[in-house]
Amino acid sequence: MDSRQRLEIALNHQEPDRVPIDLGGVVTGITVGANEALTAYLGLPGNSPVVDRVQQLARPNEALLDRLCVDTRYVYLSPPQNGGDIELSDDLYQDEFGVQRKAAINEEGRLLYYDFTGEPPLAHAETAADIARYTWPDPHDAARYEGLVERVRQVVETTNKAVIVNVIASIFELSWYLRGYTQFYIDLATDPALIDALLSATREYQMAQVEEILHRVGKYVSVVLTGSDLGTQRAPSLSPTVYRRLVWPHYRQLWDLIKRKTNAKIFYHSCGSIYPMISYLVEGGVDILHPIQVKAANMEDRKRLKEEFGRDLTFWGGFDQQEVLAFGTVEQVREEAKRLLDDFMPGGGYVFVSGHNIQTGVPPENVLALYDTIHEYGRY
């Protein structure tokens, strides 16, 4: 059984020969520091370009992906015609949406990620008309999609790997990037008209980009990435009632578009405690839930999640990344990996990834033990 077949069978809630394995996406990736440590530990080539500036994610090379038996391959868009980012100083830049980000550097001088700084571009918007005057990047910019078809077809025609375009359509999260986190949540409670205008504009941008991608490569891709973080460690970040009334209808339009344009499955990413929202995701047409943050409240019981939602959702992730992967021993990693598989793999509907992106400082021997255990133990 090849990788593409393996993933398709698992996503259709059947049992393939083994659990499909993933690595390399915008929320299923590996940071530059972790990639360097892992490739050095394995004696593999370590030169990998940065494919996500904010999160400092590396593009894993083929040698590493093959060593870890990864079944997926991510294909990336090209830069916009104007290049996108504006460099403001050595450690500060402004992205194409007008959001400023500052470098976060550790004690050893390593760049870890870029964090928000400065004033959000829509911080002073007071009405829907103010939202309407905001100038969006052009989702139809042909430069973004230059070479996309060729890169996707190269994977399809020369490998047996499953193809995913490494762009995540985010409505809720991008909206608060533009408005500012605190003000956005105030608006949810006090100004639903402004929130609706902002979410509508963000939705239209994301739908336009998704349509451009699927028009070109929709028949080739296995999964379409969507998402936004809806949870904190302890609870959802907004009430399920507010989510359903104000946010969910915009995602429903996005998901409906995807269903019309491709047979690929819809992936939804949200960190945190989101148990009350899962039924709404299912109702909206989501096929895959990631990352299953098991240290978050009401997300720790993987068997319960499988029993309640396993007929409708494929679970993608679910490993204890916060404690075991980062701070556990190799043996603890192996045992947690086996428990994960026991909980999620029966009946199909499960794809393995470590959880969210593998962070700088995670011991490479833990990463290797995790992927090797999944490959060895995750057989049907």
Dump pLDDT digits (tens) for 75-131.
999 999 988 899 999 999 999 999 999 999 999 899 999 999 999 999 999 999 999
How high is the pLDDT of residue 271? 98
Dump pLDDT digits (tens) for 156-173.
999 999 999 999 999 999
The pTM of the whole model exceeds 0.75: yes
How high is the pLDDT of residue 47? 79
How high is the pLDDT of residue 48? 85
DSSP secondary structure code for residue 18 in this structure: B
The pLDDT of 297-314, averaged and rounded, is 98
Element (H, E) at 74: strand 72-75
Dump pLDDT digits (tens) for 175-226.
999 999 999 999 999 999 999 999 999 999 999 999 999 999 999 999 999 9
Question: Measured between alpha carbons, how far is residue 32 from residues 51, 96, 116, 378 in Å?
Answer: 10, 23, 20, 28
How high is the pLDDT of residue 272? 97
- Using the predicted structure, report yes or no on whether residue 324 has a pLDDT greater than 90: yes
Relative to beta strand 30-31, strand 57-58 is antiparallel
The pLDDT of 309-321, averaged and rounded, is 98
Residue with tokens 């004696």: 43
Element (H, E) at 269: strand 265-269
d(CA 166, CA 144) in angstroms, rounded, equals: 12
Dump pLDDT digits (tens) for 230-275.
999 999 999 999 999 999 999 999 999 999 999 999 999 999 999 9
The pLDDT of 282-291, averaged and rounded, is 98
d(CA 180, CA 185) in angstroms, rounded, equals: 9
Element (H, E) at 31: strand 30-31
How high is the pLDDT of residue 291? 98
CB-CB contact of 265 with 285 (8 Å): no
How high is the pLDDT of residue 83? 83
The one-letter code for the residue type at 320 is: D
CB-CB contact of 164 with 73 (8 Å): yes
d(CA 298, CA 308) in angstroms, rounded, equals: 13
- Using the predicted structure, report yes or no on whether residue 320 has a pLDDT greater than 90: yes
Of 168, 134, 317, the closest CA to residue 251 belongs to: 168
Of 48, 216, 72, 221, the closest CA to residue 147 belongs to: 216
- Using the predicted structure, report yes or no on whether residue 350 has a pLDDT greater than 90: yes
Dump pLDDT digits (tens) for 10-68.
999 999 999 999 999 999 999 999 999 999 999 998 778 999 999 999 999 999 999 99
